[in-house]
Amino acid sequence: MNDRATRLLLLASVFVIATCGLIYELIAGTLASYLLGDSVLQFSTVIGVYLFAMGVGSWLSGFVERGESRLFVQVQFLIGLIGGFSAAALFVLFTQVNAFRPVLYGLIFLIGTLVGLEIPLLLRILKDRLEFKDLVARVFTFDYIGALLASLLFPLVLVPHLGLVRSSFLFGMLNVAVGLLSARVLRLSGPWARATSVLGCGLFVLLFGGFLAADRFTSWSERNTYTDPIIHAVSSPYQRIVLTQGAGDLRLHLNGNLQFSSRDEYRYHESLVHPGLARLPMAKRVLVLGGGDGLAVREVLKHPGVEQVLLVDLDPAMTRLFTQLPLLTQLNLDALASDKVRVVNADAFTWLAEAKETFDFVVVDFPDPSNFSLGKLYSTAFYRRLRPVIAPGGAVVVQCTSPLVARRAFWCIDATLRDTGFQTRPYHVYVPSFGEWGFILASLESLPTDLSLPEGLRFLSASTLRGLFEFPPDMDRVDVDVNRLNNQALVRYFEEDWGKVR
Amino acid sequence: MKGSVAAAAVGVAGSWTGCRPAPPSIQGTIVGPNRELGHRLRDGGLPAPERFEQVDVVVVGGGVAGLAAARTLSRAGGLKLVQVELESEVGGNSGWGQTATTAYPWGAHYVPLPGREAVEVVRLFEELGVITGHDVAGRPVYREEFLCHDPEERLFLHGRWQEGLIPHLGVSSAERAEIDRFLARMQSLREAEGSDGRPLFAIPVDRSSTDATCRALDLEPFSAWLDREGFRTRPLRWYVDYCCRDDFGLTAAGVSAFAGLHYFAARGGEAANADASAVVTWPAGNGWLVQRLREGITGELHRGCAVHSVAAHEGRVRVSAFDADSGSAVGWDAAQVVLAVPMFVAARLLGAPGAGRGTGAVYPPWLVANLTVDQIPDGRGMGPAWDNVLFEGRGLGYVVATHQQLRAVTGESVLTYYLPLDHLSPADARREAVAWTWDQARDLVLHDLARAHPDIAARTRRLDIKIWGHGMICPVPGFLWHGDRHRWSKPLGNIHFAHSDLSGISLFEEAYTRGVTAAHAILGRGTLSA
């Protein structure tokens, strides 16, 4: 290889090194912000420590008397290894060690020192091949261009498409590749040269393995989206189920969305079930669609007249969890294990199409209509399929998101039920962890107005009930479209209304 | 010193998992049509049957027209009826397939709400429960599950998905104004009637007004009309070309102005529970309709059976065929025959009496691919819709087979990708396409889709391809109103013709109406028994 090509390759490596160096810094800063919060503080301290460490590295380079080329390659490998594993290591260590900050800053200091060593070494390697003014000009040009590239790549490409863990492995691989290439370009000789290639290749494979296995780190990453410690997490084919527990507060999250907080879920579930069921003293058979947590079933079982409850929930992982985990069965009072209760894991829409039984009371407790698939479960087509399973004189209650935040969505569900031939009685309740929440009680025939609540309720009473059916002006009825499969009006209202508060 | 730029990343948020590992190998094959049997038919030399079974009616062809004829005859009752299909399955261009998860189309995949003129189709929809009743204003109520679920369409434009197929992302106000002017013009044409009181543009096409000025539009290319009317900007012209390719297989430069305007102005029936622009569709596409038509047929069905001659014989018609399964010749002696086959096939089956039939008809070839994917691909902007189109893409994009499913969970799906091969003349494109290996065709499909979905190869588990050598007839200038298609539609003695080719426009409504009309002509004659 001629001198010109060598020079060019070495300068190109400056560019790559600069990019890698800045990427590690950005990864550390971002990660610290994710894990520790207060991004201004984290980024300032990370940048400070990193730059200081680079200074230390540059100073240390003064003690290197000879063998710059060999050291340069070794430093490359080390940066590749440490930088490459840095994101993964920090995620793991965050959950394993008590003093996370010393680990974080130690790692940053180490990477910074090594990166600080590189440029002085490279300047010395190149000093005989270029005039001093050209040397300094070119090396710093490539250095700064690399920095620009890194700072653009990181937020626009790496974080959204690869994620932190993969990005760090990727740039580790790049560092090792530069090391391998420079070993060739600088014509390292002797037995060490051979060992270098083997070592470099081994490191590269290791980092590549890490790159492929990066998915494993998802679970670590979840820690910071939840305020309380995660006590149980499971992925089913349908959703990610996460339970967290803080001080006296057990919370269930599905795909990151809060489903209930044990502090106030009784408000939600009592309101979901009793205003309807307490009007039907003759009710014997109850159907619950969704609600695999068994909390609605718990409320249903408070009515001694109820003989059979059928729970249809899509996800066996949910119903299994709420049948087996003691913490959860304490909460749902072992409702799913009751002799009166039968659990079917099926898609509600499909199940309804084949349903032959009828029920005196139906509880429809689906997730909010936040996407087009879920929107179908609130359509005229769905309610038309629901009609035949309601026994004469029976009723159905539907959870209907927040009439305060998503006012149009709430009244859209009401309009859809009415369009399908139901009479409706909308009501709402305040659940602290959710906010103002809405339900619609619907029936094909008029329902009795007098009702008898079961014993032992914590929230509902004859006097609280009266207020629930009154809608203040800020969430009163609005004129909206009916939700059909072919217009999905509800999802559009829901997105727009919730979009305003997010 | 590097720190000077580091602050730029403060506050970056996102996930730290991203793309998937290297793509697994994709399975797949090039499937039918039965080219071997088709070519044996073309090249002659199939054995003649020794005996001819006496029957009332033979329907040759199991596409929509043939099924419509056979179903109408079956419902009349009392006839000995035989239907013969070359392929191993009926359906023709409305064919379909099935995976463990979903049915999917191999061709036609929707029907717009039928208008007032499409009485036969409206009646069929009532019979099949597609129309379930009428509201107080007399408008039909469609079965909601069959109406295309929202969101119907999205377009990939400037690196993002937008809702709807008419470009609006990055479209200038002048371009937008031209699009609006075009749409307003089409709306006025939709409402316009000729001096004979008929709509200017109707489906079926032969129920359009006979006004000479309107029919003269058939002589020039649609692109010439657009130029003359000042419709020139790129987003609009792409949209118009897209629509023409979608329905006819050629761009606006290849089809007649009448046909192009017909596309925009003839659609739109009304419904109590949907917009005029709504369509009905099923996971199997129009394969669902084919299955329902098939259920209504009581006659004998011979599949994988090549009819090679249809000839008048002593006041009756002799149909000679070759059954590929048994490897034997079969024959029928029928009082009446419905030839529900493309015109170029009819010409061959009839021999001398069929000479010249179908002259001037153009059939651009098509590539249809079905991609089994582990998840419907998403992308930036609007989420997946039923019809997903790439602006200035090579193909027409894809439809999602599971879109009409009611299950709340989305997972594996099948994407049906359509590509009219209009980069060469139809004959050259056909020659090129039939020579493609599966690898070549697969890469072509994946390459086109990768622009919107860089991960499409990794998402795809299976990719099957069908090359339709003679996809559908294309209404080139002059074909609709200035050729011989009306003469070819008339019966030849006891031989009746039913195929959308005779309409010059390949639509379900045209094929179905022609099948029913042929059956009615036979039933009107009365003397059927031998």
Look at residue B16 and tell me whether its pLDDT is greater than 50: no
pLDDT average, residue stretch B287-302:
96
pLDDT of residue A226: 66
- Rounded to the nearest 5 degrees, what angle is found at the Cα of A256, between the Cα atoms of A255 and A262? 110
Token readout for A230 is 């995660």
Domain contains B14: no
Q: Is residue B493 part of a domain?
A: yes
**Across A45-92, where does the E strand assignment appear?**
none
Q: Residue B7 — pLDDT band, cuts 50, 70, 90?
A: very low
- State pLDDT tens for residues A127-176: 878 888 888 888 888 888 988 999 898 888 887 778 778 889 999 999 99
pLDDT above 70 covers a percentage of chain A that reads 93
Is residue B497 domain-shared with residue B382, that is, in the same domain? Answer: no
Residue B291 and residue B224 share a domain: no
Which sequence spans correspond to the domains of chain A?
Answer: 3-223, 275-501
Q: B178 and B269, same structural domain?
A: yes
> By C-alpha distance, which of A34, A32, A31 is closest to A42?
A32
Q: What is the pLDDT of residue A95?
A: 53
Residue B37 has pLDDT above 70, yes or no: yes
From the candidates A293, A360, A365, A497, give the one annotated as an active-site residue: A365
Whether A486 and B3 lie within 8 Å, measured CB to CB: no
Nearest to B5 among A151, A165, A382 (CB): A151
The chain B residues in contact with chain A (CB within 8 A) are 1-19, 21, 144-145, 147-152, 273-274, 278, 383, 406-411
Count how many domains chain B has.
Answer: 3
Is ipTM strictly over 0.85?
Answer: no
Contact assignment for B17 to A214 by CB distance below 8 Å:
yes
Nearest-Cα distance to chain B for A347, in Å, is 6
Assess whether B138 and B242 both reside in one domain: yes
Write out pLDDT tens, residues B239-253.
999 999 999 999 999
> What is the 3 state secondary structure string of A22-54?
HHHHHHHHHHHHHHHCCHHHHHHHHHHHHHHHH
* The pLDDT of residue A445 is above 90: yes
User: CB contact, 8 Å: A214 with chain B?
Assistant: yes
Residue of chain B whose alpha carbon sits nearest to that of A51: B3
pLDDT, average across residues A383-410: 96
CATH 2.60.40 fits A3-223, yes or no: no
Rounded Cα distance between B306 and B86, Å, is: 5
CB pair distance less than 8 Å for B409 and A373: yes
Is residue B483 located within the same domain as residue B343? Answer: yes
Question: Closest partner residue to B145 among A163, A381, A487, by Cβ?
Answer: A381
CATH of the domain at B201: 1.10.405.10
Interface with A, mutate which of B153, B406, B409 (most A CBs under 10 A): B406
Provide the token pair at A120: 């002085």
Parent domain of B124: 111-280
Residues B395, B509: one domain?
no
* Same domain flag for B338 and B487: yes
CATH 3.40.50.150 fits domain A275-501: yes
A365 is catalytic: yes
pLDDT tens across A82-99, in order? 999 988 888 777 655 556
Residues B462, B494, single domain; the answer is no
CATH of the domain at B399: 3.90.660.20
pLDDT at B260: 97
Residue B422 sits in the same domain as residue B443: yes
Q: What are the CA-CA distances from residue A398 to residues A9, A347, A442, B129 (Å)?
A: 68, 17, 8, 29
Q: How many residues does chain A have?
A: 502
What pLDDT band is residue A9 in, cutting at 50, 70 and 90? confident
Residue B16: closest CA among chain A residues belongs to which residue?
Answer: A163
DSSP state of B255: S
Residue of chain B with shortest Cα separation from A162:
B18
d(CA B54, CA A77): 87
- Confidence class of residue A236 from pLDDT cuts 50, 70 and 90? confident
Contact map slice: A 68-97 vs B, CB within 8 A: 87, 91
- Whether residue B251 sits in one domain with residue B128: yes
Domain with residue B40: its CATH number is 3.50.50.60
> Does B18 sit within 8 Å of A50, measured CB to CB?
no
Predicted pLDDT at A39 = 67
Residues whose CB falls within 8 Å of the CB of residue B175, separated by 6 or more in sequence, listed in order = B233, B234, B235, B236
User: Is the link from the previous residue into A281 a cis peptide, with omega within 30 of 0?
Assistant: no
User: Residue A31: its pLDDT value, please?
Assistant: 77
Residue B387 has pLDDT above 50, yes or no: yes
- What is the average pLDDT across A340-345? 96
**A30 at B interface, C-beta within 8 A:** yes
Residue B29 resides in a domain: no
Residues B351, B300 share a domain: yes
Residues B357 and B373 in one domain: no
Q: B528 falls in which pLDDT band (50, 70, 90)?
A: very low
